[in-house]
């Protein structure tokens, strides 16, 4: 199993350079796969054999497959520059090694490279991936990613673009006729705000993978100060009356997200600057049919999975017949108003003694800034330079 983890780490040329260069001498041999060692069935992958910390290609090299079910083409064949495999079949999955001949002495062959796992995806039915307790994770809290399948998988592999560089191997445990694996991540120590997928494979052929699960977006909340949420015409409406929920903030958020308690998905709308310098989005819920408790969040375009603290909860009650449907938003009503520079004229020092404000040391001011959305990706230039002078 440890062999497998090592080999999975060497997926692709750039990873090889980063993950493997310190394991041997100058002439350590590496096998790389482009564009990726994780290949969809029917796709293509290019293998190259490298030396000198991965900076040089071997012009002539041989390939070895570790398992017994050799794909005959590799036996005793010398490859030049690179080798393109494809269309890839499950028979191509497995670990490979290479050995190259040096240009200065063509009869001298290098040492055998570390193994590289070529994983072929799309062979089994996709597993499902869930976040527990949910995909909205409060900054500093821990989330469990749970991969499950209705067939028995001995292995699961988690894929992320940021949090782990390579597929993360998890042991599948029997669970109600299928398999399951949990992986807990603390959002303090990892940049979790991104998209995850998982794959499964059976015990005896670990590199023959399922299709990827549906993508799971993890959102970290609590990155910026909370917006405020209000209802028009008010939080209690007659059945059939049109309801608009307005989320607003003095922070220059690009997007607002409206969640309803008990609903898995959020509605998202672009923020529009208002004449009074706030940034707002109006969620038209249509004719009121059912009540619910709503919250909204703000985010910036540059970090779509990092959201503010939730607004205070807003209970909306409807006098009339209840229904289960979740209304979808129509286009946001365009607000009239002159776009203004972000309204960051005040620091959010609510709850603090005004005198204490004057006594803030630079260090505690930094702590205060973390509470202000103006410290977000779109910084509020004027205010930040003013505060720097305190
Ligand atoms: C490796 O070989 C490819 C051609 O297959 C070439 O484009 C590339 O520049 C070579 N890389 C190095 C570092 O020599
Ligand atoms: C590569 O192998 C071919 C024969 O297959 C040979 O003619 C050539 O000289 C070799 N090149 C190098 C750089 O070893
Ligand atoms: C997450 O990590 C931080 C920093 O290491 C720690 O203070 C916190 O207790 C951890 N949270 C959980 C739920 O383990
Ligand atoms: C994963 O975690 C959930 C919730 O804590 C638990 O019910 C489940 O049994 C765990 N599964 C495994 C395979 O550990
Ligand atoms: C700013 O204006 C919008 C309408 O343009 C209004 O809904 C909001 O309550 C106003 N906010 C403040 C703080 O006055």
The neighbour count for residue 94, using CB atoms within 10 Å, is 24
What is the per-residue pLDDT for 189? Answer: 79
Give the ligand at the shortest distance from the Cα of 171: 4
Answer for the pair 40, 121: CB distance below 8 angstroms, yes or no: yes
N-term to C-term CA, the chain? 57
The neighbour count for residue 52, using CB atoms within 10 Å, is 13
- 110-121: average pLDDT: 93
CA distances from 131 to 153, 169, 185, 197 (A): 19, 17, 11, 11
What is the per-residue pLDDT for 86? Answer: 86
What is the per-residue pLDDT for 365? Answer: 34
Strands 272-273 and 279-287: antiparallel
Say which range, 156-165, 170-179, 245-254, has the weakest mean pLDDT. Answer: 156-165
| Ligand 2 binding pocket includes 103 (Cβ within 6 Å) | yes
pLDDT at 371 over 50: no
Per-residue tokens: 50 = 């490298």
What is the per-residue pLDDT for 366? Answer: 33
Residues 212 and 315: their CA atoms lie apart, in Å, by 38
For the chain, the C-alpha Rg in angstroms (whole number) is 27
Per-residue tokens: 345 = 């004229």
Answer for the pair 54, 32: CB distance below 8 angstroms, yes or no: yes
What is the per-residue pLDDT for 54? Answer: 66
What is the per-residue pLDDT for 56? Answer: 83
Say which range, 38-47, 182-191, 253-262, has the weakest mean pLDDT. Answer: 182-191
Answer for the pair 90, 123: CB distance below 8 angstroms, yes or no: yes
- The alpha carbon of residue 306 and the mean position of all alpha carbons in its chain are separated, in whole angstroms, by 11
Over pLDDT 90: what percentage of the chain?
51
Distance 84 CA to ligand 2 centre (A): 19
What confidence tens digit (pLDDT) does each residue in 80-113 have?
888 999 899 999 999 999 988 887 887 888 888 9
Total residue count of the chain as it appears in this document? 390
Residues 147 and 200: their CA atoms lie apart, in Å, by 8
SS3 of 236, please? strand
Q: Which atom of ligand 3 is nearest to the CA of 140?
A: 1
Per-residue tokens: 53 = 């910390």
- Residue from 102, 101, 138, 99 nearest 116 by CA: 99
Query: Ligand 5, from 229, 248, 252, 340: best to mutate by most atoms within 8 Å of Cβ?
Result: 248
Residues 182 and 131: their CA atoms lie apart, in Å, by 10
In this structure, the residue with its CA closest to atom 1 of ligand 5 is: 276
Task: Find the helix or strand (DSSP H, E) in which 308 lies.
Answer: none
Between 36 and 352, where is the model more confident?
A: 36
What is the per-residue pLDDT for 71? Answer: 52
Answer for the pair 96, 46: CB distance below 8 angstroms, yes or no: no
What is the per-residue pLDDT for 21? Answer: 38
Q: Which atom of ligand 2 is nearest to the CA of 102?
A: 14
| Ligand 5 binding pocket includes 248 (Cβ within 6 Å) | yes
Mean confidence (pLDDT) of the chain: 77
Give the ligand at the shortest distance from the Cα of 60: 2
Query: Ligand 2, from 59, 61, 78: best to mutate by most atoms within 8 Å of Cβ?
Result: 59
Task: Find the helix or strand (DSSP H, E) in which 356 lies.
Answer: helix 354-359
Give the ligand at the shortest distance from the Cα of 79: 2
| Ligand 3 binding pocket includes 144 (Cβ within 6 Å) | no
SS3 of 323, please? coil
- 115-123: average pLDDT: 95
pLDDT at 321 over 90: no
Q: Which atom of ligand 1 is nearest to the CA of 54?
A: 13
Q: Which residues pair with residue 230 across a beta bridge? A: 246
Between 211 and 370, where is the model more confident?
A: 211
> Backbone phi, then psi, for 387, in 5-degree steps?
-65, -30
Residues 17 and 316: their CA atoms lie apart, in Å, by 56
What confidence tens digit (pLDDT) does each residue in 347-368 have?
332 333 333 333 333 333 333 3
What confidence tens digit (pLDDT) does each residue in 289-315 have?
888 999 999 999 999 999 999 999 999
Residues 162 and 148: their CA atoms lie apart, in Å, by 22
Instruction: Name the band, by pLDDT with cuts 50, 70 and 90, for residue 17.
Output: very low
What is the per-residue pLDDT for 27? Answer: 72
Instruction: Name the band, by pLDDT with cuts 50, 70 and 90, for residue 243.
Output: very high
The neighbour count for residue 371, using CB atoms within 10 Å, is 15
Distance 81 CA to ligand 1 centre (A): 7
pLDDT at 271 over 70: yes
Domains of the chain by range and CATH?
A: 30-121 (2.60.40.10), 125-217 (2.60.40.10), 222-319 (2.60.40.10)
pLDDT at 67 over 80: no
List, as one string, the DSSP characters of 12-38.
SHHHHHHHSGGGS-TT--EEEEES-SE
| Ligand 5 binding pocket includes 249 (Cβ within 6 Å) | no
pLDDT at 126 over 50: yes
| Ligand 4 binding pocket includes 138 (Cβ within 6 Å) | no
| Ligand 4 binding pocket includes 148 (Cβ within 6 Å) | no
pLDDT at 374 over 90: no
pLDDT at 341 over 80: no
| Ligand 1 binding pocket includes 55 (Cβ within 6 Å) | yes
Torsion angle of C-alpha atoms 8, 9, 15, 16, degrees rounded to 10: -90
Between 192 and 271, where is the model more confident?
A: 271
pLDDT at 162 over 50: yes
The neighbour count for residue 277, using CB atoms within 10 Å, is 17
pLDDT at 174 over 70: yes
């Amino acid at each position: 199993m440890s062999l497998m983890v090592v080999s999975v780490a060497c997926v692709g040329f750039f990873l090889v350079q980063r993950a493997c260069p310190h394991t041997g001498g100058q002439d350590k041999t590496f096998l790389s796969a482009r564009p990726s060692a994780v290949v969809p069935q029917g796709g293509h992958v290019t293998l190259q054999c490298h030396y000198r910390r991965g900076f040089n290609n071997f012009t002539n090299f041989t390939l070895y497959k570790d398992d017994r079910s050799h794909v005959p083409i590799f036996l005793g064949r010398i490859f030049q520059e690179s080798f393109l495999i494809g269309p890839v079949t499950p028979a191509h999955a497995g670990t490979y090694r290479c050995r190259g001949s040096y240009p200065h002495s063509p009869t001298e062959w290098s040492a055998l490279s570390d193994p590289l796992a070529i994983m072929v995806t799309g062979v089994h039915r996709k597993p499902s991936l869930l976040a527990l307790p949910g995909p909205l994770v409060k900054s500093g809290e821990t989330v469990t990613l749970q991969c499950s399948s209705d067939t028995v998988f001995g292995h699961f592999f988690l894929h992320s673009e940021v949090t782990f560089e390579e597929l993360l191997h998890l042991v599948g445990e029997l669970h109600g006729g299928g398999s399951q694996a949990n992986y807990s991540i603390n959002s303090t120590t990892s940049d979790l705000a991104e998209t995850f997928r998982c794959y499964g494979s059976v015990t005896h052929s670990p590199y023959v993978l399922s299709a990827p699960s549906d993508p799971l977006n993890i959102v970290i909340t609590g990155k910026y100060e909370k917006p405020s949420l209000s209802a028009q015409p008010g939080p209690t409406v007659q059945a059939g009356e049109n309801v608009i929920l307005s989320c607003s903030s003095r922070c220059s958020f690009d997007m607002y997200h409206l969640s309803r308690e008990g609903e898995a998905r959020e509605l998202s709308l672009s923020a529009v600057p208002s004449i009074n310098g706030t940034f707002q989005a109006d969620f038209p819920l249509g004719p009121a049919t059912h009540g619910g408790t709503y919250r909204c969040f703000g985010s910036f375009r540059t970090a779509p999975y990092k959201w503010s603290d939730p607004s205070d909860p807003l209970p909306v009650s409807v006098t009339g017949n209840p229904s289960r449907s979740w209304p979808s938003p129509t286009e946001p009503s365009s607000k009239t108003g002159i776009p203004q520079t972000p309204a960051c004229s005040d620091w959010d020092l609510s709850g603090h003694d005004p005198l204490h404000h004057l006594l803030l040391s630079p260090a505690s001011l930094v702590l205060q800034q973390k509470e202000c959305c103006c410290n977000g990706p779109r910084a509020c230039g004027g205010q930040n330079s003013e505060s720097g002078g305190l």
